[in-house]
Amino acid sequence: MLFSLVVYVLFSVVMCQNDNKTILTRKLPDGMKLGVASAAYQVEGAWNVADKLPSIWDTLSHTPGGIKDGSTGDDACKSYEYYKRDIQMIKFLGVDFYRFSISWPRILPSGFRNKISDDGLKYYNNLIDELLANNIEPIVTIYHWDLPQYLQDLGGWANPMIADWYVDYAQVLFETFGDRVKTWITINEPKQIGLFGYGMSYLAPRLNAHGIGEYLAAKHILLAHAKAWHLYDKQFRPHQKGTIGITIATDFRTGMTDSPEDILAGSEAMDFEVGLYAHPIFSKTGDFPESVKRRVAERSKEQGFKKSRLPTFTKEEIVFIKGTSDFYGFNHYSTRFYTRNGFKSGMYPIPSYEDDLAAIYSYKDYKPAAIVHCTEIPEGMRLALKWVKDNYDNPPVNIIENGFGTLGGQQDYDRVKYLTRYMDAILDAVEIDGVNVTMYTVWSLMDNFEWANGLSIKFGIFETDYGNSNKTRRPRMSAFWFRNLVATRILDPYRETEFQKLEF
């Protein structure tokens, strides 16, 4: 750690009075572990070292026009080279755990396990050992979007065989790292993979096979996840004694108004956006949600399809998938409000997921954040947590991502305010609604490659200096805020945050 600094300033981050809620000083529950997160492609760089072959994100970022600001993840934060520095930063925060992901093509270059990369194994062994040596628990995401390009060429998540390919890969990780890794996340955010990558052209592989691709991906992601869970449960859990679950983007969706039509539009939006992935795993009945099955079947019929565009599960598959998560991995950023008032067929491509849902949304009169999907609506965090508890029989909830994107700046009062209000909402969910939140994770440790937005959007509580060849990092105000929360376990909106210029 380089103490390049000099100024020591005190900033007061007071936010007693908000629009609608006074935040009081309150204590975090004893059982709630705190941590920070990243993902392989977003931080590692070293895209072509040793025997690693390209992932779909290497392909997209090397395609002209693929990324908004023209950047790539070739270097990103250079974590592959400087992982020890990442760990010093995490140690500085004092958190319990670091949630990171493993790059499939770094371990299995082509995607298949006929060739396992020694270099890849060595990198993650070093990372895990260094974390443990510093008393930081590794929490590992097996798949966070960087599919080997070779598997994409074979259809990727649209090919049912991917469940077997994925399980072969997961098995290598359990065998190699499972002696030290005790919390596994199978797949990060199925909706974003399927809808944005297969049903739209927002994320890699940008198939834009709307109305078809997103549903195929959903089915195969669920089967792949369930297979990995069963493998771990039978062959590894007995001696490794860890936990394994999926992480689902659980932004809240609700009605625009209290009219019965809007309430229905809101609850069906929740079924399409969250339930499609959560219901088969966490509900008592299993399978896709009824409203999604009904709407897609009806629209498919009108459109002249012979069968529903939403694939079906066999009875055996429904049973196989049900109950396959030891916790509900919960990612949350904001809330949207839905109505069918003003929706017209043709507003979205036909067929498509949005046309099947047949509703429009807004952020109502909330002040839109610079990154609109981070618009600050803390009450939605509480409602989403309660929705999970009520619909899925009160599972333990690991909050695996929550954070605030900006366009930059070190004195990030806006991020501190967002994080403070969201933590306050989480404490309401725990204390008043009885939600069992066992983990809270800030996205992200540092600014990193934000997918289609490249390097332009900053989610870090550490700033990354991309202009410096070492990708130097500096703690933002929010890093000091979080460090204090970790140390005191007291959420205190009146506390002054000490800010110091530091470099890592």
**Which residues would be at the binding site for ligand NAG (CB under 6 A)?**
396, 436, 438, 468-470
CB of 147 to ligand NAG, least distance (A): 31
Does residue 187 sit in helix, strand or coil?
Answer: strand
Nearer to ligand NAG, 195 or 400 (CB): 400
> Which residue of the set 137, 401, 450, 463 is catalytic?
401
C-beta nearest to ligand NAG: residue? 396
Give 58: exposed, middle or buried? Use CB within 10 Å, 0-12, 13-18, 19+: buried
189 is catalytic: yes
Distance of CA 309 to the CA centre of its chain: 26
Nearest Cα to Cα of residue 199 among 185, 169, 219:
219
What length does the chain have? 504
Cα separation, 478 vs 497, in Å, equals 9
Q: State the alpha helices, DSSP H only, in 200-340.
A: 213-231, 237-240, 260-270, 276-282, 290-302, 315-321
> Please, what's the b/e burial string for 198-229 (b: 16 or more CB within 10 A of its CB; e: otherwise)?
bbbeebbbbbebbbbbbbbbbbbbbbbbbbbb
Nearer to ligand NAG, 22 or 470 (CB): 470
CB of 244 to ligand NAG, least distance (A): 13
Nearer to ligand NAG, 1 or 347 (CB): 1
Say how many Å lie between the first and final Cα of the chain, rounded.
Answer: 5
Strand order of the β-sheet with 252-255 is: 252-255, 335-339, 360-362
Q: State the alpha helices, DSSP H only, in 145-187.
A: 149-153, 162-177
> Which residue of the set 189, 268, 450, 463 is catalytic?
189
Nearer to ligand NAG, 210 or 322 (CB): 322
CB of 2 to ligand NAG, least distance (A): 8
CB of 437 to ligand NAG, least distance (A): 9
CB of 324 to ligand NAG, least distance (A): 15
Nearer to ligand NAG, 4 or 345 (CB): 4
Q: Give 326's DSSP letter.
A: S
Q: Give 22's DSSP letter.
A: B
Does residue 130 sit in helix, strand or coil?
Answer: helix
503 is catalytic: no
Nearer to ligand NAG, 471 or 483 (CB): 471
Q: Residues 282, 325: contact at Cβ < 8 Å? A: yes
DSSP codes joined into one string, 465-495 = -TTSTT--EEE-HHHHHHHHHHHH-EE-TTP
Give 241: exposed, middle or buried? Use CB within 10 Å, 0-12, 13-18, 19+: exposed
Q: Helices 413-431 and 378-391, interaxial angle, to 10°?
A: 30
Nearer to ligand NAG, 18 or 438 (CB): 438
Nearer to ligand NAG, 241 or 367 (CB): 241
CB of 479 to ligand NAG, least distance (A): 20
CB of 92 to ligand NAG, least distance (A): 17
**According to the 3-state scheme, what is the secondary structure of 345-359?**
CCCCCCCCHHHHHCC
Does residue 198 sit in helix, strand or coil?
Answer: helix
Tokens representing residue 456 in the block = 């332009």
CB of 64 to ligand NAG, least distance (A): 29
Catalytic site residues? 189, 401
